Amino acid sequence: MNSSLEDKKNQLLAKLRKQGISDEAVLEALAEIPREDFIADYLRAQAYENAALPIESEQTISQPFIVAYMTQELRVDKSHKVLEVGTGSGYQAAVLAKLCKRLFTIERHMPLHKTAEEMFKKLRLFNVTTLFGNGMRGWKEQEPFDRIMVTAAGEDIPDELLYQLKDGGILIIPVGGQEETQHIIRVTRHGDDFDVKTLLPVKFVPLLSGIVHSS
Ligand code: SAH
């Protein structure tokens, strides 16, 4: 990494601390994963601005603060099996992979799925397993999960994801339509009860069913 990107990364991490990201393991994962590798070359200089950026298939890589915040709120540890719905660029998955035991990630756009898979290999993140499909249904062959993170906004919380959580497990998902204010919701499973907490207002691309084979 050239020194100006390194400087910008350090400035961004300092800003995230000021904004309330205090989990050292999360900050370390953000320091280790090269965000510039998950975006197009023409955007490289903006890799460490605290902004969402466009990726292929008209999707976005989330703002670093939101990645850090959602990761912190998920309370991941090294023993956890984690599912991410919405691989996108693969950046959030790479951050999670540093913090958990095994990370499963599902994407509905083939070009994004393929590019992200290559990145996980390049970064030697061998605990990541990818799937091309509709993540709203979760991953039946791999459930139950200690943690689930959805990185696209649902109109509501898909039941199938709730029931793929282990007892005591946590799901984080942005909820709300494209025209309304969305919020990050954190759900904690206690048996067949689900404790729901509303966190920050956000803006995410939609969680959609069906799969898309080309860009
Ligand atoms: N976590 C990503 C964010 C990408 S934006 C990153 O770090 O870059 C959200 C992604 O969710 C998009 O790529 C979109 O195609 C995907 N998505 C939306 N609905 C989905 C679904 N039902 N199953 C799987 N992926 C979905």
Cα of 52 to ligand 1 centre, how many Å? Answer: 13
215 an active-site residue? no
Three-state SS letters, 47-95: CCCCCCEECHHHCEECCHHHHHHHHHHHCCCCCCEEEEECCCCCHHHHH
pTM of the model: 0.98
How far apart (Å, rounded) are the C-alpha atoms in residues 23 and 40? 29
Distance CA 143, CA 165 (A): 7
- Atom 13 of ligand 1, residue of closest alpha carbon: 88
Ligand 1-lining residues (CB < 6 angstroms):
59-62, 85-86, 88-89, 91-92, 106-109, 112, 134-136, 151-152, 205, 207-209
Q: Are 96 and 84 in contact (CB under 8 A)?
A: yes
- Residue 1's pLDDT is 63
| The residue type at 123 | L
What token pair was written down for 203? Answer: 């803006």
Cα-to-centroid distance, 9 and ligand 1 (Å): 24
Quick one: pLDDT at residue 3?
72
Provide the pLDDT for residue 12: 98
Report the atom number in ligand 1 closest to the C-alpha of 67.
Answer: 7
- 10 alpha carbon to ligand 1 midpoint, in Å? 27
The predicted structure's pLDDT at residue 130: 98
52 to 74, 106, 187: CA distances (angstroms) = 20, 20, 25
Query: What is the torsional sign of CA 85, 168, 16, 29?
Result: negative
Tokens of 20: 């309330």
What's residue 19's pLDDT? 97
The confidence score (pLDDT) of residue 215 equals 62
Mean pLDDT, each 10-residue run in order, the chain (215 residues) = 87 98 98 98 97 96 98 98 98 98 98 98 98 98 98 97 98 96 98 97 96 87
Ligand 1 pocket test: which of 39, 55, 62, 107 has the largest number of ligand atoms within 8 Å of its C-beta?
A: 107
Contact at 8 Å (CB) between 38 and 92? no
> Which of these is catalytic: 4, 22, 62, 79?
62
- Shortest-distance Cα residue to atom 19 of ligand 1: 207
Q: How far is the CA of 3 from the centre of ligand 1 (A)?
A: 31
- Residues with Cβ within 8 Å of residue 192, at least 6 apart in sequence: none
CATH fit for domain 3-202, picks 3.40.720.10, 3.40.50.150, 3.40.430.10, 3.20.20.60: 3.40.50.150
